[in-house]
Amino acid sequence: MNKLVTYPGLGRSALRVMLIALISFLGMGMFLIDYGLDNPEPVGKFIDGNLPDNTPGGVTGWDVEPAFPNVTFNNPMYVVPQPTTNQLIVGQRDGVIWRITDDQNTSGKTLFLDLSNTTAVVWDGGMLGLAFHPEFGQSGSPNKDYVYIYYCARPAGASFPPGFTNGFFGTYLRLSRFEVNPATNVVDPASELQMINIRLYNGSHRGGGMVFGPDDYLWLTIGI
């Protein structure tokens, strides 16, 4: 028979604090469990030696140079080629997405979509992933000019508990589909169709990698 033992001098508030502390302590023990393979094989640096043993700039003659030295971005998260064009889509963490020409000498960028008003930039959150429809831009597939975007969304008027100024409370992990105007090659913000909208209760592990597979399904990674 389970019993709750009380102690003289402790009120209900103190008992609640003790119970919460005990539950938290037991929960932290889950992170000490040794998950993974039973007999993992060691992996050498640079993918088992398939790449140079030295970092770029060393004796191998490899070096690093900017791909697009004449344009700059604020914390870019991904670069995705736009199908049937010579354009690249660059998504910033703050929710602003740019379009540039795939040319090393390009010096300008065009706004593709601005979701900064609803994107929650907290910890590892923000604008996280983008993928184009497999039939995007194909003349034989009208009305398939879709782009899928995964980002941390903050609803208007969301309130945060005292002390949590980073604002991950009240946010969502959101996958939306947008339509690209073929005449202007920019996204119509009003075309947003929310496909997944998951309330975020933890502070991290949001995922973000997404791609259309050979099965034409959209694969999206979401952390827990």
Position 210 pLDDT exceeds 50: yes
User: What mean pLDDT is predicted for residues 149-177?
Assistant: 71
What's the CA gap between 12 and 148, in Å, rounded? 50
What's the CA gap between 125 and 218, in Å, rounded? 21
Alpha carbon distances (Å) from 186 to 80, 84, 111, 190: 15, 15, 7, 12
Q: Confidence class of residue 164 from pLDDT cuts 50, 70 and 90?
A: very low
Q: Which of 185, 181, 173 is nearest to 210 (CA)?
A: 173
Is pTM beyond 0.95? Reply is: no
pLDDT in tens, 85-101: 999 999 999 999 999 99
Per DSSP, what are the bridge partners of residue 127? 151
Position 19 pLDDT exceeds 60: no
The mean pLDDT of the chain is 78
pLDDT in tens, 42-78: 776 666 667 766 666 666 667 778 899 999 999 999 9
User: What mean pLDDT is predicted for residues 123-143?
Assistant: 86
What single-letter DSSP state applies at residue 217? P
Count the alpha carbons within 13 Å of 86 in the hemisphere toward its beta carbon.
Answer: 5
